[in-house]
Structure 1
Amino acid sequence: MQHIYIIGSKGIPARYGGYETFVEKLTAGQKSLDIKYHVASRRDNTELSQENDVFEYNGAEIFSIDVPNIGPAQAIAYDIKALQWAIKNAKDIEAEAPIFYILAARIGPFMGKYVKQIHALGGTYLINPDGHEWKRAKWPLPVRKYWKVSEKGMVKHADLVVCDNRKIEEYIQDEYGTFKPNTTFIAYGTDTKPSSLSKSDSTVKNWFHEKNIQENNYYLIVGRFVPENNYETMIREFMKSDSKKDLVIITNVEKNKYYQQLLQSTGFDKDGRIKFGGTVYNQPLLRYIRENAFSYIHGHEVGGTNPSLLESLSSTQLNLLVDVGFNRDVAHDAAIYWIKKDGHLANAINKADQYTKEQLLINSDRAKQIIADEYTWDSIIDKYEVLFG
């Protein structure tokens, strides 16, 4: 039996999040009978974690970790405690050649010590560095500096760096070439099934009525409401555009200082086209909203392969993406790209509004083909099982 210890997600059953969804899909879709997953879960993640130290879910062993409330250092403490538990468990069960797969690069300064313990067990340490956490504006400068130092330590000690985007793999090879890192590319996945809801469902009718929007008559943004996702540029440029359609933003702005800052800097409340739709946790409804958007606008620029981008390529007919390597690596020629220069996105929106039905259909088919070829969960699970096997 190949024992795989997964550390760094908040755990499963999944609350919404990229790593959590990945672990949920990986364990639920398991095909190999020769793999046993052990997954760290924060004690506060779900009721199951709160009530049990160890429990089974999706055939995986889930181990609950208590995390002190110490601000940004909380995630560091969680990963260290989870890794300590995993190493002890591998020893206790005498796991043969266990694999420790750490999601996110948060504990670099401590990894040297733990890698020695992993190698003493005959084990292997894998890291998925995600995107450029050290570029996220939400972190104060000292925290961003720590994330960069930590990334370096995680890569330096890794037996293998698993990158979910080819541009991240290039970055790791360029930035840390002195360590001669061993890297591989395995993408993130996305669901491809259409929404189970239709226009006549009360859930759909109520939501669209409440938000005062019509199908195929809105541009859509979905994502965390943080500066590095370029909300200011997207809102300001949409206000400059000639579009008669709405801009619907699905995000959580409750008690968000950034929302007030944007309100002051853009005055978006004076533009009736701009509509904040709150969060939508109902996944069939969110899928329906994506499928019936005229176009999706994507401003994420510091991640690797962003889950929201994959979802939009698989469901929305036209995508307007900020022009960074991560996004081009995924969408290729199945999107309109924009830069943050004044007027550029506004012009792209005006251009999109002029697309014919034929152009929209061609673009949609191209995007869906990219997803089918590279980004289905089924194919991602196959690649991981080959890697772990």
Structure 2
Amino acid sequence: MRNVFILGSKGIPAKYGGFETFVEYLTKNQISNDIAYHVACLSEINTEFEHNNVRCFNVKVPSTGSSRAVLYDINALKETIKYIKEHEVKNAIVYILACRIGPFISKYKRQLAELGAELYVNPDGHEWKRSKWSMPIRMYWKISEKLMVKHADLLVCDSKGIEAYIKSDYSTYKPNTTFIAYGADVTPSEMRDNDSSITSWQKKNKVKPNEYYLIVGRFVPENNYELMIREFLKSDSQKDLVIISNVEKNEFYKELLRKTQFDQDMRIKFVGTVYDQELLQKIREQAYGYLHGHEVGGTNPSLLEALASTKLNLLLKVNFNREVGSEGAIYFDKQEKNLANLINHADSFTESQIDEYSIKAKERIMEEYSWSKIVSQYEELFLENNNHWRFKI
């Protein structure tokens, strides 16, 4: 039996978030009986429970602002080491999602090695590039990433671009890496077109099926909202631009409004967040097209979900997006009128042209990003001979 401890997600059942969804699918679709999962969950109480037939352990962490996630990972790791000791767990794997605790990891890595446990790390994306962080926090993220790479026995990258970056930028540490992508599901929504959930949403936001382009993502500058809104305003499209995001009337929003004056165009519609995943999938399916401007990070879950659900996808031309979308999408750059012209062109596509992109996108997901494939790859990795990777101290 191989015991695998998964730390770094907010836990399961998944309510939101890429890592949470990953852990949900990994445990829900478990194939092998030779793996026992232990999942850390952020909570207000220290208790244990079972979900998807795996052990979940709550980790209580006080609300301390941006440092809470760091404290959560450290406390979860302490609890994991304690459990391994008390239950004399052999050949454990501790899989930490994201690189938040690099400055503290050396001490705990020694303890894990003494217990015969391996440390796996998912480096996630370029968190240190995100504009939402102040410069000191960005510096912390970069240092933390460096130290997590240094001490990990294995880095599991969900993007080939991230894997190449890790190998290049941290070549001094000769990092052991492997690539296993994130997953998506091409199963159509079970929600009917006349379901009250979707019709109420349409009525509330004054949108019609197949008459809107869609953006879904965190409301941060590096997702290029300004570029996409500005270019859509320059297009001749008669369709709406529907934006599903956690919009706050903050400085970024005010600056965006000042630069683009999007409030003067009735086509631009900020509609808030949608946490009902079935409804969100239906909204994706009924969109004419999807715009994706993310340029920081690796394999983006919202992009995979769009390729799996939306027929036509327009993606910013960066290596992460091209790696995922391949021939199943069309691409734009940051030059003026490039996206605007592409939207005009896309508006004139025939149904057969759109269907061709849709088929290629879904084939791409099924071949490379299906959850069944991802789960199988992870289980194969976890069940490999534990001497396959050299230990780092």
Q: Give the alignment's TM-score, normalised by structure 2.
A: 0.95
Partner of 1:47: none
Partner of 1:9: 9
CA displacement 1:146-166 (0-9 Å, x = unmatched)? 100100000011111000011
- Residues of 1 paired with 2:41 and 2:164: CA distance? 31
Alignment match of 1:343 (pick from 308, 312, 337): 337
Once the 2 structures are TM-superposed, how far is the Cα of residue 257 of structure 1 from its aligned partner?
3.9
CA displacement 1:210-265 (0-9 Å, x = unmatched)? 11111111100001111111111111110011111110111122454432332222
Q: Does 1:265 align with 2:259?
A: yes
Alignment match of 1:147 (pick from 137, 141, 146): 141
Partner of 1:20: 20
- Residues of 1 paired with 2:276 and 2:48: CA distance? 29
Partner of 1:175: 169
Alignment match of 1:322 (pick from 313, 316, 340): 316
- Residues of 1 paired with 2:135 and 2:275: CA distance? 32
Partner of 2:41: 41
CA displacement 1:168-207 (0-9 Å, x = unmatched)? 1111111111111110000000122111112221222111
Alignment match of 2:233 (pick from 239, 258, 271): 239
Q: Does 1:85 align with 2:85?
A: no
1:203-282 correspondence runs (5 A):
203-282=197-276
Once the 2 structures are TM-superposed, how far is the Cα of residue 299 of structure 1 from its aligned partner?
0.9
Once the 2 structures are TM-superposed, how far is the Cα of residue 71 of structure 1 from its aligned partner?
2.0
Q: Does 1:125 align with 2:109?
A: no
CA displacement 1:310-332 (0-9 Å, x = unmatched)? 00001111111111111111111
CA displacement 1:244-297 (0-9 Å, x = unmatched)? 111011112245443233222211010011111211112121111101111100
| Structure 2 residue runs without a partner (length 5+) | 384-393
Alignment match of 1:103 (pick from 91, 97, 102): 97
- Residues of 1 paired with 2:197 and 2:102: CA distance? 46
Once the 2 structures are TM-superposed, how far is the Cα of residue 36 of structure 1 from its aligned partner?
0.8
Partner of 1:293: 287
Q: What SS is found at the alignment partner of 1:350?
A: helix
Q: Does 1:379 align with 2:373?
A: yes
1:47-58 correspondence runs (5 A):
50=45, 53-58=47-52
Partner of 2:387: none
- Residues of 1 paired with 2:174 and 2:246: CA distance? 41
Q: What SS is found at the alignment partner of 2:148?
A: helix
- Residues of 1 paired with 2:171 and 2:338: CA distance? 36
CA displacement 1:29-66 (0-9 Å, x = unmatched)? 1111111111111114xxxxx4x511111112111112
- Residues of 2 paired with 1:381 and 1:261: CA distance? 43
Partner of 2:186: 192
Q: Does 1:59 align with 2:80?
A: no
| Structure 1 residue runs without a partner (length 5+) | 45-49
- Residues of 2 paired with 1:284 and 1:11: CA distance? 20
- Residues of 2 paired with 1:167 and 1:296: CA distance? 23
CA displacement 1:96-142 (0-9 Å, x = unmatched)? 11000000001111111111111111111000011000000000000
- Residues of 1 paired with 2:342 and 2:297: CA distance? 23
- Residues of 1 paired with 2:172 and 2:247: CA distance? 43
Q: What SS is found at the alignment partner of 2:271?
A: strand
Q: What SS is found at the alignment partner of 2:186?
A: coil
Task: State the aligned residue count.
Answer: 383
Once the 2 structures are TM-superposed, how far is the Cα of residue 70 of structure 1 from its aligned partner?
2.2
- Residues of 2 paired with 1:335 and 1:363: CA distance? 6
Once the 2 structures are TM-superposed, how far is the Cα of residue 68 of structure 1 from its aligned partner?
2.5
Q: Give the alignment's TM-score, normalised by structure 1.
A: 0.96
1:300-319 correspondence runs (5 A):
300-319=294-313
Q: Structure 1 segments of 4 or more deviating over 3 A?
A: 254-257
- Residues of 2 paired with 1:259 and 1:28: CA distance? 38
- Residues of 1 paired with 2:83 and 2:311: CA distance? 48
CA displacement 1:8-30 (0-9 Å, x = unmatched)? 00111112000011111111111
Q: Percent identity?
A: 58
Once the 2 structures are TM-superposed, how far is the Cα of residue 354 of structure 1 from its aligned partner?
1.9
Q: What SS is found at the alignment partner of 1:126?
A: strand
- Residues of 1 paired with 2:195 and 2:9: CA distance? 34
User: What is the Cα-based RMSD across aligned positions, in Å?
Assistant: 1.2
CA displacement 1:51-89 (0-9 Å, x = unmatched)? x51111111211111213222221111111111110110
Q: What SS is found at the alignment partner of 2:155?
A: strand
- The one-letter code sitting in structure 1 at the alignment partner of 2:346 is A
